[in-house]
């Protein structure tokens, strides 16, 4: 298996280290390099990391043994890039840092990242491309929808349900059995006691939820539609780093 990290700056370089930490003694696993759409990084990244950029997300020729992992920390971009690469035949690998705890009963989808000291409790279900950053936690029976991102030290307590493409800022907390609707953002340090409607921004303790850009009342916009971020803005669909 040749692992390719999508996005070569910021979190992408951290993720490269997680791959090394997780697989340095695994026979047959090699880190092949980064995919990144910024040609300006071609020289500097190899100098900084010892690993080169093997191509960009549109033109790279995918090989049978390649497995991809997306570093970007924006749920909308994670989805757009995952779909772009999947359409071209890419397959994805999940990376679990050796210091993380993952309960044997947890289910982990493809393309997930479970960072250092993260905790995944009993009967948790992580759907594809979820990112749990360092020291974040999902309590027992939590379900996390695809492309969702937990910033460092954020937590979803037991029985909570996070729908697709949720963003939790650092130290955000979802209290037990609460549901967060698709594409919502929970601000750093917010404590959520009540269900959050889809496409909301929740801030403060106790958290209050506001529609993101008024888009909550626009059902014609498909949640997480490729090419738009969780605030409904157009995305630049080039990968110029991650996180
Ligand atoms: C969740 C978060 C990212 C949302 O911020 P954002 O991306 O700027 O959100 P939007 O651009 O969609 O802003 C929507 C509106 O909410 C406001 N807003 C954003 N965060 C806010 C907060 N914490 N409290 C009050 N209002 C806030 C914005 O100013 C904006 O208002 P406007 O439309 O009148 O200009 C931000 O609050 C946050 O928590 N940032 C920290 C992220 C973090 O922990 N990163 C770690 C990565 S490793």
Give pLDDT tens digits for 180-195: 999 999 999 999 999 9
Give the distance from CA 8 to its chain's centroid: 15
212 lines ligand 1 (CB under 6 A): yes
Gap from CA of 201 to ligand 1 centroid (Å): 7
**pLDDT exceeds cutoff 60 at 213:** yes
**187 Cα: distance to centroid of ligand 1 (angstroms):** 6
The answer to whether 105 and 87 have CB atoms below 8 angstroms apart is: no
What's the number of CA atoms in the CB half-sphere (13 Å) around residue 8?
29
Atom of ligand 1 nearest to the CA of 169: 44
Catalytic machinery residues = 140
CATH for the stretch 2-87: 3.40.50
Q: Write down the CATH superfamily of domain 96-211.
A: Hexapeptide repeat proteins (2.160.10.10)
Query: Ligand 1, atom 32: nearest CA belongs to which residue?
Result: 213
CA distance 22 to 120: 16
Which residues neighbour 132 within 8 Å (Cβ) at sequence distance 6 or greater? 100, 112, 113, 114, 115, 118, 120, 126, 138, 150
Which token pair is 202?
């929740």
Residue span(s) of the chain under CATH 3.40.50 come to: 2-87
For residue 168, which atom of ligand 1 is closest to its CA?
1
199 lines ligand 1 (CB under 6 A): no
Query: Which pLDDT score, from 0 to 100, does residue 216 have?
Result: 43
Residue with the nearest Cα to atom 38 of ligand 1?
A: 187
- Within the chain, which residue ranges are assigned CATH 2.160.10.10? 96-211
Q: What pLDDT score does 199 carry? A: 97
* Reported confidence tier of residue 241, pLDDT bands at 50, 70, 90: low
CA-proximal residue: ligand 1, atom 1 (nearest):
187
CA of 50 to the centre of ligand 1 (A): 35
**Tens-digit pLDDT profile for residues 46-70:** 777 788 899 999 999 999 999 999 9
What is the distance in A from the centroid of ligand 1 to the CA of 203? 8
**Is 188 near ligand 1, meaning CB less than 6 Å away?**
yes
Q: 185 in ligand 1 pocket by Cβ < 6 Å?
A: yes
- The answer to whether the beta carbons of residues 126 and 147 sit under 8 Å apart is no
Residue pair 238/36 in contact (Cβ under 8 Å)? The answer is no
94, 195, 203, 219, 227 from 136: Cα distances, Å: 16, 20, 18, 31, 28
Report the mean per-residue pLDDT for the chain: 89
Predicted structure pTM score? 0.88
What is residue 9's predicted lDDT score, i.e. its pLDDT? 80
What pLDDT is attached to residue 224? 36
**DSSP labels for 55-88?**
E-TTT----TTEEEEE----HHHHHHHHHHHHHT
Q: Burial code of 148-172, b = ≥16 C-beta within 10 A, e = fewer?
A: bbbbbbbbbbbbbbbbbbbbbbebb
Q: Residue 33 and residue 178: Cα distance in Å, rounded?
A: 39
């Amino acid at each position: 298996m040749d692992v390719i990290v999508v996005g070569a700056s910021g979190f992408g370089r951290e993720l490269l280290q997680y791959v090394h930490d997780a697989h340095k003694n695994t026979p047959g696993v090699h880190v092949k390099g980064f995919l990144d759409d910024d040609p300006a990084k071609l020289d500097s990244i190899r100098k900084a990391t010892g690993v080169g950029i093997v191509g960009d997300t549109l033109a790279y020729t995918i090989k049978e043994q390649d497995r991809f992992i997306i570093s970007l920390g924006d749920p909308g971009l994670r989805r757009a890039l995952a779909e772009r690469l999947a359409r071209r035949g890419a397959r994805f690998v999940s990376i679990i840092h050796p210091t993380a705890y993952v309960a044997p009963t947890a289910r982990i989808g493809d393309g997930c990242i479970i960072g250092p000291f993260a905790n995944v409790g009993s009967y948790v279900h992580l759907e594809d491309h979820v990112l749990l950053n360092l020291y974040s936690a999902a309590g027992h029976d939590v379900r996390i929808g695809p492309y969702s991102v937990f910033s460092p030290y954020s937590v979803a307590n037991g029985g909570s349900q996070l729908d697709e493409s949720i963003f939790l800022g650092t130290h955000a907390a979802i209290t037990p059995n609460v549901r967060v609707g698709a594409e919502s953002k929970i601000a750093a340090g917010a404590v959520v006691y009540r269900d959050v409607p889809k496409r909301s921004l929740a801030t403060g303790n106790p958290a209050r939820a506001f529609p993101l850009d008024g888009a909550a009342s626009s059902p014609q916009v498909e949640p997480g539609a490729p090419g738009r971020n969780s605030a409904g803005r157009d995305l630049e669909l080039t990968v110029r780093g991650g996180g």
